[in-house]
Structure 1
């Protein structure tokens, strides 16, 4: 238990450091995208709990002055440890056709060498990159629970606490989603190889969730604990029911319908398509976030939209893995809600996630400006605002909009940058998303914590140096 006590002490110390960053502040911006539209030359006032307390026309006495201020997005789906294997699975495997399943073999080999301190260093780097690209918060779909070969740590929450520590050190807004992973397929075959580090039966999972619930009391108030049954392949219906009932007030995330092979397996075992089976057997509502949901028929698309659940889209990863194209146009036209995640973290780039979402629709439909509407013709603003509110919903976070009472999750763009100099309002978003990159991000506040300043995270060098040392060692061991 010595290790567990040391980690707890580190968390408490880091918590004090982060709390020192939370103080009342005000931010003047030339242009602000509020929940009621664009406003010019206004100040956003943030209280010492990290919430927006007022929006005023004052132009003097502010603590910070920025060009363009937007509600910051939430990254709703991340497996942070996979950042360390980015680029290592781009060589064709032994199969004539390489796909998700051959990529997964590389990931399992990588799991054999990861240690707890590696998990923490990698997570801190990932979160720092998220913040520097314009995200203010992240949800970690955390299924790495055990040591090599499935050996349990003395502290069941060892690796979860490593992620808490990383989140405290970066200051990111954080939702923790411990994953229930029981078997290796719908035939309930036993876990093997790298999967052994994921496995929990329902009793072990309830113990883990209970310990994490107690630990969350020591963490910042904007940190959230949710529930994440891995997939229909990895969790029984009975266990899914128990997981769903653990806490009816918190987010519920699940992988679903990512790959056609998975769809076929579910149809053979359950006689329904994955999303249809879930909708028919569970009260899927706004608590739920269905990750990927790539392969749906028209009735699934429409019924998922009606449910109020969030579709968790990860365009860069989905393209990298050859998953397929989500029918975002039909889903959004039906009133569906979505958010963005960086998933495998092969590349962390907020503007590129948004761009990839839209251009995939264009390539499929052979048309331009697909995701828009008569009352919102701006492609950039249409997808940005929906990603902001949908992502916040998926994290159980009172954010995704700039209005009094919301968390101060804010991102500023540099209006002096040559690529957007002289532009205003919606055209700024269109240009950032479709013609630029995240180098435009100048400042980020996460629940009022000023964590990115002048384009760099406040602990950039320290975090990057630790990550570099970790990667040098891991690459030698691969």
Structure 2
């Protein structure tokens, strides 16, 4: 049994003081006891401020190694998501399973140091160069799970179904062919991934991820929930204008309209980006209970567009946050970028605040709850029975010193960086201490060896 005491902590009943958190041997919170005097908690670990730690709800780990490599413009006078994607496919012509494991471990380490307790891995790099399956179909998925064993992060593994190079069933290009399966082989892969999760840590979970409307046959999309009755279902949706135009051309409806009409999504569905929606689409999709999985840093980097946050929240929509391409892994910066994008579009301030909660508090609460749903994980609160996913703030930090309650979260979101976080626990595993992952040197050295050759080739 771990005993962790905090001078202040954010609980489901609001901010409390002198909070004793008992964590059982499985990594679940057994009891949360406010008003526990410091002189009565014995040898409990003592901290100034503790909050529940959210899930990183959308990640492509291997793309971390591409950071800084895609900012040059080619012969064309314009650059876009689609030209970035061509560079990503080139990168995929080289990467090996060993490199994927080292990169994934480094990404997961950075997530933990940024305050995330869980990695929801949207895993679509399945095969060897040329699209040839490995002898073990789930070889690449196994590399993700091995990384999670090393880093101690909570894992939600989402094998991705990817069939075609585009909605008209065109043949995938080089690099892209490493993603592709027909439905039968994908079902085998998903079963293999579920087995990897069962043989991993007790807090791990799994689901499935049809990649997008452009990469999966409409007939397969319609039966995803039936074929895979357990766990969350994730899908990219309404991310880019050319994607919307392609779906309209091929299927006669905009992406969100088609999903609402043909799939009938519910709370099991988690749609990534949603940066190209009309007002009625935003409202109708939010009301289904589906989660909007937002990745503001990547969406900014790729020029995707801006999610309609006020409209989504106004009808009770649920959101989660993710680092996607992992060019910058920072929980506070994702939330800051999300809010600032709303301000820039609408010429407003505090557009996502309410009369009850400040902007930072409202966003933090939202991504705790939405992230838990997206991960299929009992987390998101300091509550008995939940996994002990927690972070501690450094109350000696200049921008936190002297602040109380929700102003702490506002300062973290709008003035902070990862240095405000001293400690992180994932299912009770104390993986970040004094701002550093406990295996940082080993993981970093393996990452440096892995990317050196890749970057030289690129």
State TM-score, norm by structure 2: 0.98
Output the CA distance in 2 between the equivalents of 1:276 and 1:410: 38
**Alpha-carbon separation, structure 2, partners of 1:475 and 1:338:** 35
Q: Tell me by how many angstroms 1:36 deviates.
A: 1.2
Query: Matched residues in 1 for 2:191 and 2:227: separation?
Result: 9
Q: Quick check: 1:25 aligned with 2:6?
A: no
1:331 is matched with which residue? 312
Shift of 1:93: 2.5
Q: List per-residue Cα deviations over 1:393-446 (Å, max 9, x = no partner).
A: 111011011111111110111111122111110111111110121101001010
Which residue in the other structure is 2:393 paired with?
413
Equivalent residue, structure 1, for 2:18: 41
The runs of 4+ residues in structure 1 deviating greater than 6 Å are none
Measured in 1, the distance between the counterparts of 2:391 and 2:195 equals: 32
In the TM superposition, 1:373-412 aligns within 5 A as 373-376=354-357, 378-412=358-392
> Residue 17 of structure 1 aligns with which residue?
none
1:199-238 mapped onto 2 (5 Å cutoff): 199-238=180-219
Deviation at 1:31? 1.1
Determine helix, strand or coil for the equivalent of 1:135. coil
- Write the distance in 1 (CA, Å) between the matches of 2:283 and 2:222: 24
Whether 2:150 is the aligned partner of 1:173: answer: no
Distance in 1 of aligned mates of 2:410 and 2:333: 12
Cα separation, 2, equivalents of 1:48 and 1:193? 47
CA distance in 1, matches of 2:74, 2:259: 33
In structure 2, the residue corresponding to 1:77 is in which secondary structure?
strand
CA deviation string 1:163-185 (max 9, x = no partner): 00001110101000101100011
Does residue 454 of the first structure (1) align with residue 429 of the second (2)? no
Counterpart pick for 2:267 among 286, 301, 312: 286
SS in 2 for 1:40: strand
* Long gaps (5+) in structure 1: 1-23
Q: Displacement, 1:61?
A: 1.7
Instruction: Check the 8 A contact 1:25/1:62 in 2, yes or no.
Output: no
- Is contact 1:227–1:244 with CA below 8 Å preserved after alignment? no
Match of 1:429 in 2: 409
Q: Is 1:273 aligned with 2:249? A: no
Report whether the alignment pairs 1:161 with 2:142: yes
Does residue 183 of the first structure (1) align with residue 160 of the second (2)?
Answer: no
SS at match of 1:461: helix
* TM superposition shift of 1:216: 2.4
Deviations 1:257-283 (A, max 9, x none): 100110111111111110111111113
Q: Secondary structure at the match of 2:349?
A: coil
**Structure 1 equivalent of residue 451 of structure 2:** 471
Q: Distance in 2 between matches of 1:416 and 1:439?
A: 11
- Tell me how far 1:95 sits from its aligned partner: 2.1
Shift of 1:152: 1.3
Question: Aligned to 1:280, what secondary structure does the other structure show?
Answer: helix
Gaps of 5+ in 2: none
Match in the other structure for 1:20: none
Alignment: residue pair count: 454
Q: In 1, Cα distance between the equivalents of 2:229 and 2:44?
A: 40
Contact 1:28 1:62 in 2 (8 A): no
